[in-house]
Amino acid sequence: MSALQAVWQAAVVLLGGGLVGMVYKGVDRKIAARMQARIGPPLRQPFLDVGKLMVKEAVVPRTAVGWLFEAMPFLAVVAAGTALLYLPLGPFAPVLGAHGDAILVLYLLAVPALAMALGGFASGSPLATVGAQREIVMLMSYEFPLAVALVGVAWRLSSLGIQPAFSLGTMAAQPLWGLVGPLGVLGLAILFSCLLIVTPAELSKIPFDIPEAETEIAGGLMVEYSGVYLALFYLADAVKTVVMAGLVVALFVPFGLAAAVGLKGGAAQAVDTLFFLFKVLVVMLVAVTTVRVGMARLKVDQVARGFWLQITAVAVVGLLFLVLDKVVMG
């Protein structure tokens, strides 16, 4: 791929990822409202929110570390957008697939959370400081089961002689479900379930919206952000939603639809792209929308204890089943 091709493909992916993320946020709010017997906002509401924020004045507190406070929203957007370039998008290989793997995506997913925490600390607000502390605790909690799920899939691919095992493109092109035995299928199902639980925590959605907690700390991390800076964090969240759901799809449900119905060429690419977007939407609705409607906010100690003990233990059990599957299958 030439540098020019990489640039225009990256531009298309970033623009498309941002638009899709905003649409999904609108769908999420609409469906959540319907589940609560409300009408809810229009689907275009996220675009209206960002548009209004973009034209409002961005206020920087006098007590803030100005350069750090202002830089963190940009860092969050850049990190989320970069992670999107390493994901396989339906029939299309990752734009930067030759320059990084799943481990890099794991690090990039942590950057927006760190950016929000640093922005909270830099704001000088005691409420934002509390929110930043909670964000760091959560980040240290849910990253481990996420890593176990990702490494487990990569290790099993490697044990089957499929390389490069840590490439998300490889993981999407070689679904493990048909390559392992019954024990492996059970292990994959367990890791899949753990990753679905991690998804709302990674996105700080109810019941894991502890760092913002409007009813407790008035928005926490975001309490001092306004204008374009708040809009950038909003955009970063939209893109990260697509990245996280796309990661779940790439690891566990990367199947296409076009081959099953006998399509080829451009028609096959169009169908598989739409099917990919549908799978991302389903993951978001299952892991985020229904969970945040049906549950109340957890306490930070419950989240830390739950991820470090219960969820991590379950993820390790799933990994052990993959190991046993290798022993049995040879």
Cα dihedral 41, 197, 190, 304 in deg (nearest 10): 180
CA 326 to each of CA 199, 244, 329: distance values in angstroms, whole numbers, following the listed order: 28, 28, 5
Structure tokens at 164: 């490069």
| pLDDT per residue rounded down to tens, the chain (330 residues) | 567 777 888 888 889 989 999 999 999 999 999 998 898 899 999 999 999 998 888 888 888 888 999 999 999 999 999 999 999 988 888 888 778 788 899 899 999 999 999 998 898 888 888 888 888 888 888 888 999 999 999 999 998 888 888 888 888 888 888 888 899 999 999 999 999 999 998 888 888 888 887 776 666 778 888 889 999 999 999 999 999 999 999 999 988 887 777 778 788 888 888 999 999 999 999 999 998 888 888 888 888 888 888 999 999 999 999 999 888 876
What count of other Cβ atoms lies within 10 Å of the Cβ of residue 300? 19
How far apart are alpha carbons 164 and 94 in whole angstroms? Answer: 14
- Residue 312 and residue 195 in contact, taking contact as beta carbons nearer than 8 Å: no
Question: What's the predicted TM-score (pTM) here?
Answer: 0.90
Q: Which tokens is 8 given?
A: 């225009």
Among all chains, which residue has been given the structure tokens 């299309």? Answer: 92
Closest by CA position to 318, among listed 197, 170, 171, 206 = 197
CA distances from 48 to 52, 54, 234 (A): 6, 10, 12
